[in-house]
């Protein structure tokens, strides 16, 4: 995955800007970090190491490093272990070019051999380093940065966003993207290239979203954009746009972690998710209604939101409908044609598996791609026929929270439009209900303390609530590192019940209404085998060891109220176990590799 941030400025030194940008991008990976700056003497200085950005900052004195142009990187290792040598930036043999890269270069071994046979010496085991050597070789020919990038892009295979810094070009950077994100930030005095607008949003909210397969040459004067083949594009067609996300939402405010802050933003974010252009909602509803079948695709938490959407699409809108994990999309291809509409759900809009799924669907002449996505200008948004933005602001915590509930809301809005029902009602009331669900916070903190050392956790629910059991288990796994499973309640007796022992904690989601009695019977079966039942329900029941009371609501909003306490449980489990909830080990927020 990795995060890239690069800056070129006419007035200020950029080291601290780069470090700050890297911290904003740590959600993309955080096993090592590095910065390369061009100093006043025409030399590229590299400071990099394994560990987090904060550790890098402590290890080196960045204040003494001048330089108004530089590149930086936070890594999520793919090729080569976590070490100083494998950290980015990578420098070419003669120190002429330094690069940072996000993605995977599939043919790096062949390229490496060829470059070695021509005398290049490699210092890392990464796939990325080949780019630095290729760029140097080409750049030496005529000192043309764009031509060197075109030449490198011609031979590398795979997916990439990379940025290069040249030792003899103090006011210039080049970047290229192929199936990985790269955004240009157009500050007045300082211009940026980054994997994500969050990295430079503290300095400018004016952005140019590069299209896939484009190269950018960035100077303090502005950006020139080229195709990967080197053809320059008309500057008038590529104006900077203002990014709507507010700067305030980038700070943790008084919260200990972004994750907790984002959980607490949900009374507002469930409402802002509903602030959609009615014409687009109608057009999306019409498109879905006129389709013969709908295929929803997503990964991670977004997949669970898709499962919820499917349940209502089938039951209420009577749509023939499938949900496919984006990584498994291939299996659905035989059933996709011009009468199928694909709905893609994603927070980042950059998940590689999802983009690949959309690409495959398009190759089958699908009848339309609709996306529900948080990041405006993301690859997914740009590749969709219609996009509804989640409007929940930047989500920094690696575990999805407010983006998940926003997806549920946008899904509900579409389905209400399709069926002519109003299951949403007054959005303000929804905010109040979420506040009530948040009032479980102290209880969830106490439960986390009590259960912090358990090895396994189970979550069960029925029907339209089952995806919340899956989401609750996923949250707990990613934040606490405790093994957890989300099960359909009726399925327990077909195997998993064998794992229940005295004291095994089971979260039973048992809202009033259809399925309640059956779910309670399953809870009894569990309790009879020694399980401790944490009931998430509107009312207590003797079988519950603990009752987490959630407010009553109609069917379409219930999943939101059920998931909020589970998000809190996972968060407090992480803090109880001394994990960093914002940066769970081994994970990254935006998974841009397949
Ligand atoms: C990663 C994140 C998850 C997220 C999933 C899908 O695995 O850690 O929190 O749900 O990607 O991401 P997307 O941006 O497509 O929703």
DSSP class per residue in 236-287: GG---EE----GGGGS-TT-SSHHHHHHHTHHHHHHHTT---HHHHHHHHHH
Is any atom of ligand 1 closer than 6 Å to the C-beta of 504? no
Q: Is residue 588 assigned to a domain?
A: no
CA 303 – ligand 1 centroid, Å? 9
Q: Do 444 and 540 fall within a single domain?
A: yes
Residues 500 and 404 in one domain: no
Domain membership of residue 400 (yes or no) is yes
Residue % of the chain over a pLDDT of 90: 83
| Closest ligand 1 atom to 351 CA | 15
Calculate mean pLDDT across residues 64-75: 93
Asked if residue 30 has pLDDT above 90, the reply is: no
Q: How many domains does the chain have?
A: 3
Active-site choice (23, 191, 475, 589):
589
Q: Tell me: do 117 and 99 sit in the same domain.
A: yes
Residue 273 pairs in a beta bridge with none
Give the model's confidence band at 531: pLDDT under 50 very low, under 70 low, under 90 confident, else very high.
very high
Does the residue 344 lie in any domain? yes
Instruction: Categorize the per-residue pLDDT at 192 as very low, low, confident or very high, splitting at 50, 70 and 90.
Output: very high
Q: Which atom of ligand 1 is nearest to the CA of 301?
A: 10
CA distances from 302 to 59, 343, 502, 519 (A): 38, 11, 34, 25
Residue 127 inside a domain? The answer is yes
Is the CB of residue 302 below 6 angstroms from any atom belonging to ligand 1? yes
**Is 514 found in the same domain as 400?**
no
573/444 same-domain check: yes
Residues 222 and 284 in one domain: no
For the segment 288-307, the average pLDDT, to the nearest whole number, is 97
Cα separation, 303 vs 291, in Å, equals 21
**Residue 429 included in any domain:** no
What atom in ligand 1 is closest to the CA of residue 478? 8
pLDDT of 249: 66
Ligand 1 center from residue 589 Cα (angstroms) = 6
**Of residues 343, 329, 398, the one with CA closest to residue 372:** 343
CATH number of the domain to which 47 belongs: 3.60.20.10
What mean pLDDT value characterizes the chain? 94
Domain endpoint, select from 368, 394, 424:
424
- CATH no. for residue 506? 3.40.50.10490
Q: Does residue 469 share a domain with residue 341?
A: no
Q: Compute, in angstroms, the gap from residue 430 CA to the centroid of ligand 1.
A: 25
**Does 314 or 103 have the greater pLDDT score?**
314
Which of these three, 243, 262, 282, is where a domain ends?
243
Same domain as 36, residue 164: yes
pLDDT band at 244 (very low <50, low <70, confident <90, very high): low
Q: Over the stretch 336-345, which tens digit does the pLDDT of each residue have?
A: 999 999 999 9
pLDDT at 254: 86
Confidence of residue 77 (pLDDT cuts 50, 70, 90): confident
In the annotation, is 85 catalytic?
Answer: no
364 and 269 belong to one structural domain: yes
Q: Classify residue 433: in a domain, yes or no.
A: no
Segment 392-402, tens digit of pLDDT? 988 989 999 99
Q: Is 321 a catalytic residue?
A: no
Q: Do 297 and 416 lie in a common domain?
A: yes
Task: Give a yes or no: residue 350 inside a domain.
Answer: yes
Q: Please state the rounded mean pLDDT for residues 15-25.
A: 93
pLDDT value at residue 516: 97
Q: Hey, which of 180, 406, 590 would you mutate to test ligand 1's pocket, going by the most ligand atoms within 8 Å of its Cβ?
A: 590
CA distance 350 to 372: 12
Q: What angle do CA 331, 334, 340 make, to 5 degrees?
A: 105
Domain end position, chosen among 424, 451, 471: 424
Q: Where does the pLDDT of residue 458 fall: very low under 50, low under 70, confident under 90, or very high at 90 and above?
A: very high
Q: Which of 299, 380, 470, 586 to mutate to test the pocket of ligand 1 (most atoms within 8 A of CB)?
A: 299
Domain identity same for 200 and 307: no
Q: Which pLDDT band, with edges at 50, 70 and 90, does 20 fall under?
A: very high
C-alpha 548/C-alpha 352 separation (Å) is: 37
User: Which ligand 1 atom is nearest residue 299's CA?
Assistant: 6
% of the chain with per-residue pLDDT over 70: 98
Per annotation, catalytic residue among 2, 48, 321, 360: 2
Token reading at 190: 């300082």
Give the pLDDT confidence score for residue 247 in this predicted structure: 53
* 520 in Cβ contact with 543 (< 8 Å): yes
Contact 435, 267 (CB under 8 A): yes
Which of these ranges, 144-148, 155-159, 294-298, has the smallest mean pLDDT? 155-159
Residue 426 has pLDDT above 90, yes or no: no
User: Which residue's alpha carbon is at the smallest distance from atom 2 of ligand 1?
Assistant: 589
Residues 472, 514, single domain; the answer is: yes
The verdict on residue 586 lying in a domain is no
Q: What residue numbers bound the domain in which 275 lies?
A: 251-424
């Amino acid at each position: 995955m990795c995060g890239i941030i690069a800056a070129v400025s006419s007035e200020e030194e950029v080291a601290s800007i780069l470090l700050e940008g890297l911290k904003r991008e740590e959600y993309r990976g955080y096993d090592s970090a590095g910065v390369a700056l061009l100093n006043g003497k025409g030399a590229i200085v590299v400071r990099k190491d394994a560990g987090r950005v904060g550790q890098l900052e402590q290890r080196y004195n960045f204040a003494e490093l001048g330089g108004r142009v530089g590149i930086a990187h936070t890594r999520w290792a793919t090729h080569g272990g976590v070490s100083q040598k494998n950290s980015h930036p990578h420098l070419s043999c003669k120190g002429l070019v330094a690069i940072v890269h996000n993605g995977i270069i599939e043919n790096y071994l062949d390229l490496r051999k060829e470059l070695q046979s021509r005398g290049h010496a490699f210092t890392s085991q990464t796939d990325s380093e080949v780019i630095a050597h290729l760029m140097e070789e080409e750049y030496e020919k005529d000192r043309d940065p764009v031509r060197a990038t075109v030449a490198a892009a011609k031979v590398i295979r795979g997916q990439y966003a990379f940025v290069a810094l040249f030792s003899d070009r103090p006011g210039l950077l080049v970047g290229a993207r192929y199936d990985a994100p790269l955004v240009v930030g157009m500050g007045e005095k300082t211009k940026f290239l980054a994997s994500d607008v969050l990295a430079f949003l503290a300095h400018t909210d004016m952005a140019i979203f590069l299209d896939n397969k484009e190269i950018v040459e960035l100077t303090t004067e502005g950006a020139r954009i080229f195709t990967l083949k080197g053809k320059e594009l008309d500057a008038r067609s590529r104006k900077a746009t203002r990014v709507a996300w507010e700067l305030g939402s980038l700070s943790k405010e008084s919260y200990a972690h972004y994750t907790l802050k984002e959980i607490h933003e949900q009374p507002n974010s469930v409402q802002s998710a509903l602030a959609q252009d009615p014409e687009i909602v109608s057009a999306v509803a019409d498109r879905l209604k006129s389709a013969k079948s709908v295929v929803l695709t997503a990964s991670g938490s977004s997949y669970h939101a898709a499962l919820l959407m499917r349940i209502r699409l089938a039951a209420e809108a009577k749509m023939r409908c499938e949900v496919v994990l984006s990584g498994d999309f291939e299996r659905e291809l035989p059933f996709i044609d011009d009468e199928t509409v694909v709905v893609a759900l994603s927070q980042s809009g950059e998940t590689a598996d999802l983009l690949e799924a959309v690409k495959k669907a398009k190759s089958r002449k699908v009848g339309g791609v609709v996306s529900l996505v948080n990041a405006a200008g993301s690859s997914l948004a740009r590749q969709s026929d219609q996009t509804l933005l989640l409007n929940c602001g930047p989500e920094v915590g690696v575990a999805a929270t407010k983006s998940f509930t926003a997806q549920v809301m946008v899904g509900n809005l579409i389905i209400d439009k399709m069926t002519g029902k109003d299951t949403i009602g007054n959005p303000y009331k929804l905010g109040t209900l979420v506040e009530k669900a948040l009032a479980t916070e102290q209880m969830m903190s106490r439960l986390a303390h009590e259960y912090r050392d358990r090895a396994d956790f189970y979550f069960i629910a029925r029907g339209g609530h089952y995806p919340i059991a899956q989401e609750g288990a996923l949250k707990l796994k990613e934040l606490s590192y405790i093994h957890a499973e989300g099960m359909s309640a009726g399925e327990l007796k077909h195997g998993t019940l064998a794992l229940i022992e005295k004291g095994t904690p089971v979260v039973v989601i048992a809202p009033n209404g259809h399925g309640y009695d059956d779910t309670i019977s399953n809870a009894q079966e569990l309790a009879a085998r020694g399980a401790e039942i944490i009931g998430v329900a509107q009312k207590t029941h003797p079988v519950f060891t603990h009752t987490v009371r959630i407010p009553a609501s109609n069917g379409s909003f219930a999943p939101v109220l059920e998931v909020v306490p589970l998000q809190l449980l996972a968060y407090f489990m992480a803090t109880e176990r001394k994990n960093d909830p914002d940066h769970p080990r081994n994970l990254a927020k935006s998974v841009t590799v397949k």
